[in-house]
């Protein structure tokens, strides 16, 4: 779903069917009672990531083991693609992916179209910055605000290279990692829904190699 001016958000959320979250049942990983893992390596479109939204010049397609996610409107803000896997946001969890882009792309979690909650994202940029964002509508700020401001970091591999991005909820904190380097610890925020996915900024061609969640 495209990030648009706040007053229009609810109206457009009804129109953009490609953004509608779908239930994807997690499965027990075979060890650790009451723990679950969801993983998609994009070998096929069984979880329904593919979409096309010509009105906003946005599309996503799985091909040869990756998910290409493009939002080419240079006048836009951001576009979201998310799946409700029903992880418990009140318990510890680990969310991770491997992504790269020609601009700015991130791991998205907590997105809920029905309530207008855009969730949170851990993004990495082509020029070597990372950031943690409140995307708006989560019970706090109504629009995008930074939790961790864009930070130039040697932990980020620049120039469109793959970056392993991970966020963990540990007790009352969120801990962020880029390529296995811890880059921040911040107080956890309220999460509306146990969903995961991706966000790309305007004028971005992005790609993901896999996405995974481990949770209770």
**All structural domains of the chain with their residue ranges:** 2-215
Of 74, 44, 46, the C-alpha closest to 202 is 74
Q: Residue 203: what pLDDT?
A: 97
**Based on the number of CB atoms within 10 Å of its own CB, is 212 exposed (0-12), middle (13-18) or buried (19 or more)?**
middle
Nearest to 132 by CA among 167, 98, 158: 167
Q: Which two tokens stand for residue 198?
A: 């991706």
* Helical residues (DSSP H) of 58-207, grouped into ranges: none
pLDDT tens digits for range 78-108: 999 999 999 999 999 999 999 999 999 999 9
Task: Identify whether the C-beta of residue 20 lies closer than 8 Å to the C-beta of residue 49.
Answer: no
- Superfamily of domain covering 2-215: Exo-inulinase; domain 1 (2.60.120.560)
pTM: 0.86
Q: For residues 207 and 142, which has the higher predicted lDDT (pLDDT)?
A: 207
Mean pLDDT, range 113-141, rounded to an integer: 95
Question: Which pLDDT band holds residue 142 (cuts at 50, 70, 90)?
Answer: confident
**pLDDT higher than 80, residue 41:** yes
> Residue 140: what pLDDT?
84
């Amino acid at each position: 779903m495209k990030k648009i001016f706040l007053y229009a958000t609810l109206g457009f959320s009804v129109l953009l069917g490609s953004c509608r979250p779908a239930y994807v049942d997690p499965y027990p990983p075979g060890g650790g009672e009451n723990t679950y893992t969801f993983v998609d390596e994009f070998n096929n479109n069984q979880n329904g990531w593919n979409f096309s939204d010509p009105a906003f010049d946005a599309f996503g397609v799985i091909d040869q083991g990756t998910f290409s996610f493009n939002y080419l409107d240079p006048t836009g803000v951001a576009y979201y693609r998310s799946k409700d896997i029903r992880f418990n946001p009140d318990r510890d969890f680990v969310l991770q992916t491997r992504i790269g882009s020609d601009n700015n792309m991130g791991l998205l979690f907590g997105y809920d179209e029905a309530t207008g909650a855009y969730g949170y994202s851990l993004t990495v940029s082509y020029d070597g910055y990372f950031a943690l964002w409140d995307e708006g509508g989560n019970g706090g700020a109504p629009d995008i605000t930074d939790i961790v401001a864009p930070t130039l970091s040697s932990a980020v591999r620049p120039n469109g290279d793959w970056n392993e991005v991970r966020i963990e909820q540990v007790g009352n904190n969120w801990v962020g990692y880029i390529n296995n380097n811890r880059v921040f610890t911040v107080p956890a925020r309220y999460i509306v829904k146990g969903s995961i996915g991706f966000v790309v900024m305007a004028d971005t061609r992005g790609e993901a190699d896999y996405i995974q969640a481990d949770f209770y």
